[in-house]
Amino acid sequence: MAEFTMELNDEQKEVRDWLHGFAADVIRPAAAEWDEREETPWPVIQEAAKVGIYSLDFYAQQFFDSTGLGIPMAMEELFWGDAGIALSIVGTGLAAVGVLANGTEEQIGTWIPQMYGDQSDVKVAAFCSSEPDAGSDVASMRTRAVYDEAKDEWVINGTKTWATNGGIANVHVVVAVVDPELGSKGHASFIVPPGTPGLTQGQKFKKHGIRASHTAEVVLDGVRVPGSCLLGGKEKLDERLARAREKAKAGGERVKNAAMATFEASRPAVGAMAVGTARAAYEVALEYATTREQFGRPIIDNQGVAFQLADMRTQIDAARLLVWRASWMAVNNRPFTAAEGSMSKLFASETAKKVTAQAIQILGGNGYTREYPVERMHRDSAIYTIFEGTSEIQRLVIARTLAGMPIR
Contact 77, 19 (CB under 8 A): yes
Active site residue 388: yes
How far is Cα 50 from Cα 119, in angstroms, rounded to an integer? 5
Half-sphere exposure of 378 (CA within 13 A, CB side): 19
Is residue 398 within 8 A of residue 350, CB to CB? The reply is no
> Among 205, 229, 233, which residue's Cα sits nearest to residue 217?
205
Question: What does the alpha-carbon distance between residue 261 and residue 176 come to, in Å, rounded to a whole number?
Answer: 14
Which of 47, 77, 375, 388 is labelled catalytic?
Answer: 388
Rg of the chain in Å (alpha carbons): 22
DSSP notation for 30-99: HHHHHHHHTS--HHHHHHHHHHTSSSHHHHHHHHT-TTS-HHHHHHHHHHHH-HHHHHHHHTHHHHHHHH
Which residues, listed in sequence order, are joined to residue 201 by a DSSP beta bridge? 218
Q: Determine the length of the chain.
A: 408
How many CB atoms lie under 10 A from the CB of residue 61? Answer: 16
Residue 388 to residues 38, 82, 269, 346, 385: CA-CA distances in angstroms? 21, 19, 11, 11, 9
- Which DSSP string corresponds to 328-395? HHHHTT---TT-HHHHHHHHHHHHHHHHHHHHHHHHGGGGGSTTSTHHHHHHHHGGGGTTTS-HHHHH
In terms of C-beta density within 10 A (0-12 exposed, 13-18 middle, 19 or more buried), how is residue 143 classed?
buried
Asked if residues 10 and 181 have their Cβ atoms less than 8 Å apart, the reply is: no
User: Any alpha helices (H) in 179-302, and if so which ranges?
Assistant: 234-250, 258-291
Coil, strand or helix at 210: coil
Residue positions annotated with a catalytic role: 388
